[in-house]
Amino acid sequence: MRLVSSVVQMEILVKNGRWNRTFVGNILILATSLSLVANAFAQKKSARERQAIKSQATVVIQTIQDLQNISNNLAGNYLLANNIDASATATWNSGVGFLPIGSDATPFTGTLNGNGYTISGLFIYSGASEVGLFGTAGAGAVIENINLTGVNITGTQVNPNEGDFGTGALVGHLLNGQVINCTVSGMVTGNYVGGLVGVSNGSTPYIGGAPGGSITNSSANVTVVSTGSENTNTAVMETTSIVGGLVGFNYGTITGSTAAGSVANSWSYAQEGGLVGYNFGTISNSQASASVADSDTSPPVDGDIFDQVGGLAGLNWGTISGSHATGAVSAQVQEQIGGLVGSNACVSGGLCGEVLDSFATGSVNTAGNGAWAGGLVGVKRGNRATIPRNGCSHQLRL
């Protein structure tokens, strides 16, 4: 490009005392084009810089010790680079095993992308309040693309009158975090317990509080067992155990997720379901094939507080849509038991259970007198608890 002096430019731009509009227009077009090119180059450079910064900030996880070290920076970004054999955790910390990452007091708020890799043989036997690979995943946490196989996880804390703890293979307490495209298999034991997540909500205490975490396109094929504890304080009608094939207590959202395996409880006044034990939130396009067995034989507390047992959810105060259950459901004396939901109910304050476009095909069996049993829902309690588009709900007094 040839540069000319300002005098020459003036001679070109001004002719016979008037502006040469064509030339000025060309200059403006050229200037605009150069500006667009410069902006595009700057944006491209900025994108490269952002990607470089992101890459530098991501910590690569290659060993089980690397995974444990996430506890040193709970706000970091992490990426699995390979499969990890975690079987050595069975001998860690004098038999306690792997120490859960994060707690309600100091939750994990970073990201972990498993990149489709598998962590196998994880062992935890802990008295912590929140038990799982992650104890608590808080606001901003994203856990995705991780497979856990052959887990053996036990949460030993029992405190039925408070309900401030949870046990799950991946997350004990999902406190406003996200779980996306994760799978688990193995055995999980606890009180408020789920195969994938123990408790999903937005606050503590767990029962009530605020809505919270989300679980999307995830699955569990787990043997889930309740440790439970009898509540002898009849003045405080607290649940003694919440057990679910995927999630124990849900006050978040569950979408496109599944649970197989089995769910078992032997304690009175418990909620147990093939997918969720106690649903306060939203379940959509999900399904459970897990078998659900309640072996409690004690009479209801004060003659009125039953176990609620369902193929998908034990107790529903939230919304269930486009979902189904195919697993066998069984219970003993005086329980509320359904192929899909044990009890679909209203809670004081106006929140009522709703079941939409859902179905159940599994068998429903009760061995005792005085049970409420249904092929779809055992009991619908409250005038505004609805089942509007599901065909018939069987409600039988056996």
Q: Does 38 lie in the same domain as 85? A: no
Q: Does 79 lie in the same domain as 24? A: no
Final residue before a domain boundary, out of 58, 74, 99: 58
Summarised one tens digit per residue, pLDDT across range 195-237 is 999 999 876 555 556 677 999 999 999 999 987 655 444 444 4
Summarised one tens digit per residue, pLDDT across range 24-46 is 455 445 445 555 545 554 444 45
Q: Does 129 lie in the same domain as 142? A: yes
Q: How many helices (H) and strands (E) does the chain have?
A: 3, 42
Structural contact between residues 173 and 157, judged by C-beta atoms closer than 8 angstroms: no
pLDDT of residue 204: 57
Question: Would you place residue 383 in the very low, low, confident or very high pLDDT band (cuts 50, 70, 90)?
Answer: very low
- DSSP structure string for 38-66: HHHHHHHHHHHHHHHHHHHHEEEE-SHHH
Which domain does 344 fall in, by range? 62-397
User: Rounded to an integer, what distance in angstroms lies between the CA atom of residue 373 and that of residue 41?
Assistant: 68
Provide the whole-model pTM: 0.80
Final residue before a domain boundary, out of 41, 58, 75: 58
Question: Is 111 strand, coil or helix?
Answer: strand
Query: Residue 92 is part of a domain; what is its CATH number?
Result: 2.160.20.110
Q: Does 85 lie in the same domain as 52? A: no
- Dihedral sign for Cα 50, 115, 148, 121, please: negative
Is pLDDT at 129 greater than 80 in this prediction? yes
Q: Higher confidence at residue 15 or residue 174?
A: 174
Average pLDDT over residues 355-362: 94
pLDDT of residue 398: 32
Question: Would you place residue 304 in the very low, low, confident or very high pLDDT band (cuts 50, 70, 90)?
Answer: low
The residues pairing with 119 across neighbouring beta strands, listed in sequence order, are 84, 148
Q: Does 311 lie in the same domain as 205? A: yes
Q: Does 254 lie in the same domain as 353? A: yes
Is pLDDT at 368 greater than 90 in this prediction? no
Average pLDDT over residues 370-381: 78
Is pLDDT at 317 greater than 80 in this prediction? yes
User: Rounded to an integer, what distance in angstroms lies between the CA atom of residue 209 and that of residue 249?
Assistant: 12
Structural contact between residues 83 and 118, judged by C-beta atoms closer than 8 angstroms: yes
Q: Does 357 lie in the same domain as 285? A: yes
The residues pairing with 143 across neighbouring beta strands, listed in sequence order, are 112, 179
Q: Does 170 lie in the same domain as 87? A: yes
Q: Does 381 lie in the same domain as 247? A: yes
Q: Does 94 lie in the same domain as 9? A: no
Question: Would you place residue 397 in the very low, low, confident or very high pLDDT band (cuts 50, 70, 90)?
Answer: very low
E strands, 86-141, are 111-113, 118-120, 123-126, 130-131, 134-137
Is pLDDT at 396 greater than 80 in this prediction? no
Average pLDDT over residues 270-276: 94
Question: With 0-12 CB in 10 A as exposed, 13-18 as middle and 19+ as buried, what is 25?
Answer: exposed
Final residue before a domain boundary, out of 38, 58, 78: 58
Is pLDDT at 256 greater than 90 in this prediction? yes
Query: Based on the structure, what is the number of domains in the chain?
Result: 2
Is pLDDT at 160 greater than 50 in this prediction? no
Is pLDDT at 121 greater than 60 in this prediction? yes
Q: Does 177 lie in the same domain as 305? A: yes
Q: Does 29 lie in the same domain as 67? A: no
What are phi and psi for residue 342, nearest 5 degrees?
Answer: -70, -50
